[in-house]
Structure 1
Amino acid sequence: MSAFFETPQHPLKLMVALLTCGAVSLAGCMVGPDFTKPDAGLDAVQLAPRPELASVIPMSEAAVPAQWWQLFNDTVLTALQGRALTGNLDLQMATERIEQSRAQLGIAAAQLLPSVGANTSYSREAISENGKFAALGAPSDPGNFWQMGFDASWEIDVWGRARREREGAAAALQATVYDREAARVTLAAEVARTYLQLRGTQAQLDIAQQNLSVAEHTLGLAESRERNGVATRFETTSARAQLATVKALLPELAQRRNAQMNALALLLGEQPRALDAQLRNAMPLPSLPSRVPVGVSSQLAHRRPDILRAEARLHAATADIGVAKADFYPRIGLKGKVGLEALDGGDLASWDSRFFSIGPTVYLPIFQGGRLQQRLALNESRQKNAALAYRKTVLRAWHEVDNALDAWGAQQRRHDELQVAYEQNKQALRAAERGYQQGAADYLSVLTAQRDLLDSQTRLNDSATHATLTVVNLYKSLGGGWDPETVQ
């Protein structure tokens, strides 16, 4: 609508506009701005790590898989994802919010339709013998009064207030749908992240057990050498201290493993320890995918449900401006009544007992104490805030993708170097143990080599775990975990 319709303080113009809209088309006049889909500007996103962090595993422009976790080829993880989709309580609450929004849309749409009601009444009446009706000669004897009929009313949506409300409710419904899909993306990432961390902790437990065996063997060797007089008590006590240090890792790692199994159970909507029997036994950490499909940047805004949610909220806020502007204009409606009434119930069947009334109604806001102006200002401010929230969501998505890509490349390169360090430390420990057994080296070199090996094993396992987690973060940032084509 032009600015002409946004100046309710001109009565003549208002009447002309009213007559014009009523004569041309009741559905043609809608005040307030029409929603325009914003440009996300994500075509410029670089879907590859920076050159200095180039990844070893190639990336392709193939579409992002909805069930990206299947790239790990882990049947347990796939099964957990399926159970989470049906059992997670946050996802169930998001689904119920969709039903609430759908009901709100139905309420808003109902304003465009007439309302019809039926009524029936009976009363026994008597007028005052000293009242004005008695003075006019009306009988004061008690009598019955019967009435039944139908009432109907319909507000003609000349200015589009009801249509804007329906438009806003439809956009709000879309926002709740995308809110559920955003929760689905987050859930898939959290299940995968917790599961991979669990496997990493179990691998660290296995490493600690291996180092425990090494420390026990070294202690036995030191005690034997001390008994034979070729080693000092320092070597024996140092070996016992190293053994205790390794043993101290076990309860901490076990507690972390148990907490991660409980975290998975919570994501699946189940009780603590519900997954212990299934997940307690250690399994290898899933290997990295052999290929990483990342799609194209032009589809990123369509794949991220949080961006689509922010867009829908902006649409709803824009429609609210039209609702607020329509409140400045007259409300025109039709109101009618038809029925039967009689003093004797037996006369209700007579055609002469009928009554009816029909006619237009007009409500014109004259003075509201500034309420309408402030409501319009409030909705305009909310629309601007929604626009800023949309821009922030897009910018955050861009940052998440860029950081995830760099982390993916960096972890691969870090893992390769830590693998070399682990192999070298393993050879160093063997050499130190041989030298110690042959008397060519002191125990300090063995102790140092043991600590270096334990440290490198821990770092390598952490790197392998983090490398898989970067895949999770990457697909979460790309909007993986739901299928955009299934949401209308």
Structure 2
Amino acid sequence: MTGSGRILALLGTCTALSACTLGPDFRRPDIISPASYGPEPQDVAGLTYGGPVDVTWWKRFNDQELNSLIDRLAVQNIDLQRGMQRIAEARSQTRIAAAQGLPSLNWAGSYARTHQSETGFISLVQPRNGAPNEYDFFQNTLGASWDLDLFGQIRRAVEAQHASQEAAVEARHGLALSTLATLVDSYMQLRGVQDQIAITERHVAVADHDVVLVETRFGNGAATTLDLAQARTEQANTASALPVLRNSESALINAIGVLLDEPPRSLAVELAARDGTMPKIIPSAPVGLPSALARRRPDIREAEAKLHMATAGVGVAIAAFYPDITLTGQMGTQTLSAANFFSLPSRQFATGPTLSVPLFEGGRLRGTLALRKAEQKDAALAFHQTVTTAWNEVDNALTAYAQSQKRLEQTRIAWEESRKAIAIAREQYREGAVDFLQVDNAESAALAAEATYSANRIQIATAFVALYRALGGGWEYPALSGDNAAKRG
């Protein structure tokens, strides 16, 4: 059978069946997930287990200020608001595409005052006696058309737009997850910097006391000029860390302010350091099952929607090779007198199908089909890459969370031992058994050990944030997901 014969046969089949849809049907990709996440050390304070992922995991820190910031984030964050607008845009595009498959109806009315040229085309005919060269012309037309979409080009386009809309929804979910994690991470780092400031200020006070002590001993002849210089050097070095830390504190407060669409310094009082703001170690963290990760992570769901959109695009390109039938009709009136505008003799109508058959497009249709197939393959590879990245991110986050906790005990021991060392060094200095260099070294070691211990506690908190970011938990929180608002739109 020739190519034209196959087209006619398919056209007859689709006409008999009312319509058929060409192109590949989308099938959700198979994902082979591991039975469980990798083994992690269990002799740590914050354990992980396979329970359902907590969608409000940040509440485990039991920090009311943090909870308040996140509740405001859902309302005030500009990126989340823009994400909602992109969903609205995608929904409008879907409605536009769907409208192509529905009958259209329109009305047009016109009036024209016409004067015929005596030397124009009218000179070729013999006018009726008394016929004027100047006259009024009234026209009233109701037109209708309906593309039968026999081969599913419109239906595939609508399918592609539905998938695009789903991708926009998942992109906003991913944005909600990213913004949430960024806020919690910035908050934890802020509390860590404020704790570092408090530690440094305590050591500055100790350094000040040491300077007074050495100056007194120097005045009594029990200390040397070198001792005094070393004490003042330690005092200056310790105090020099404060401007850097306070700069970091200000930058983190402003970073949180940007997420909440607040002007600079507006959150300075609210986020000021206070007792009890250091994050607690979470006693247990449910991490779900690997098989549920693909259904929970927004980036995987978005990649799947984009693959669906690309697959439907192939169907649109294939259907473009086949004929298209549009039913058209119009009815109305035409008259030279307004008095006869609605009279029966003034009526006019026309109706019938229009068949459009692509004969020669200069390779445009084949090029479009090749492009759409390449886009589908690219989307499939992107989906696979997204899934692979997700497994690796979860595994890395689990390891980081466990190992940062194992390090905490060692940093705590180092801090406690450094405190003992400085007490011994000070006592020996008072007794004249050692010079001030020993005290200076002990104080520097104590400051570094306490700062390391504090930083490690924050590292555990940020590792916990990274873990739930990798697990895709948190965007489901109703205030952040925006699903209800999206449906209302």
TM range (shorter): over 0.9
Q: Aligned residue for 1:19?
A: 12
1:479 equivalenced with 2:472 (yes/no) = yes
SS in 2 for 1:32: coil
Q: Secondary structure at the match of 1:341?
A: strand
Structure 1 stretches of 4+ moved >6 Å: none
Give the deviation of 1:45 after TM superposition: 6.4
Q: Tell me the equivalent position of 1:99.
A: 88
Query: 1:119 maps to what in 2?
Result: 108
Q: What are the equivalent positions in structure 2 for 1:360-371 lying under 5 Å apart? A: 360-371=353-364
Q: Matched residues in 1 for 2:233 and 2:162: separation? A: 68
Q: Aligned match of 2:205 in 210, 213, 216?
A: 213
Q: Which moved more, 1:125-134 or 1:261-270?
A: 125-134
Q: Deviations over 1:199-218 (max 9, x none)?
A: 00000000001111111121
- 1:267 paired with 2:256, answer no
1:122-154 C-alpha deviation (Å, 9 max, x unpaired):
112243333444433134521221110201111
Q: Report the count of equivalent residues.
A: 477
Aligned to 1:176: 168
Cα distance in 2 for residues equivalent to 1:47 and 1:322: 39
Give the match for residue 110 of structure 1: 99
Cα root mean square deviation, aligned? 1.7
Name the SS for the 2:137 alignment partner: strand
Are the equivalent residues in 1 in contact too, given 2:177–2:469 (CA < 8 A)? yes
Which of residues 139, 147, 151 is equivalent to 2:143? 151
| 2:462 is equivalent to residue 469 of structure 1 | yes
Q: Is the 8 A contact 2:147 2:326 kept in 1?
A: yes
Contact 1:49 1:409 (8 Å CA) reproduced: no
Shift of 1:17: 0.8
1:57-98 CA-partner distances (Å, limit 9, x unpaired) = 222222111111001000000101111111111111111000
CA distance in 2, matches of 1:291, 1:123: 82
Determine helix, strand or coil for the equivalent of 1:369: coil
1:432 to 422, 425, 428: 425
Q: Cα deviation per residue 1:419-472 (whole Å; 9 max; x = unaligned)?
A: 011001101111111111122222222111111101101111110110100000
Q: 1:406 to 1:473 in 2, by over 3 A?
A: same
* Structure 2 gaps, min length 5: none
The corresponding residue for 1:60 is 49
Corresponding residue to 2:188 among 171, 181, 196: 196
Answering whether residue 407 of structure 2 is matched by residue 414 of structure 1, we say: yes
CA distance 1:484–1:317, shift in 2 (3 Å): farther
Q: Distance in 1 between matches of 2:31 and 2:225?
A: 71
Between the aligned partners of 2:71 and 2:153, the Cα distance in structure 1 is: 44
Paired residues of 2:21 and 2:150 also in contact (CA < 8 A): yes
- How far apart are residue 479 of structure 1 and its match? 0.3
How far the C-alpha of 1:482 sits from its partner, in A, is 1.7
Equivalent position of 2:291 in the other structure: 298
Whether the 8 Å CA contact 1:199–1:282 is kept in 2: the answer is no
Deviation track 1:365-401 (CA, whole Å, cap 9, x = no partner) reads 1111101111111111111111111111111111110
Q: Is the 8 A contact 1:49 1:408 kept in 2?
A: no
Do the aligned residues in 2 keep the contact of 1:302 with 1:484 (CA within 8 Å)?
Answer: no
Deviations 1:88-121 (A, max 9, x none): 1111111100000000000001011011110101
C-alpha distance 218-135 of structure 1, shift in aligned 2 (>3 A): closer
Larger CA deviation: 252-261 vs 278-287: 278-287
Tell me, yes or no, if the aligned pair for 1:48 and 1:59 is still in contact at 8 Å: no
2:326 matches 1:336: no
**Aligned twin of 1:391:** 384
Alpha-carbon distance in structure 2 between the residues aligned to 1:122 and 1:358: 23
1:228 to 210, 217, 220: 220
Q: Please, what TM-score do these two structures have when normalized by structure 1? A: 0.95
Structure 2 counterpart SS, 1:298: helix
**Aligned to 1:329, what secondary structure does the other structure show?**
coil
Q: Which of 17, 24, 32 lines up with 1:33 in the alignment?
A: 24
Give the residue type in structure 1 aligned to 2:149: D
Tell me if structure 2 keeps the 8 A contact 1:303–1:480: yes
> TM-score by structure 2 length?
0.94
Measure, in 1, the Cα distance between the counterparts of 2:397 and 2:327.
60
Answering whether residue 37 of structure 2 is matched by residue 47 of structure 1, we say yes
| Aligned residues of 1:203 and 1:282 also touching (Cα < 8 A) | no
Q: Is the 8 A contact 2:160 2:309 kept in 1?
A: yes
Measure the CA separation in 1 of the matches of 2:132 and 2:342: 26
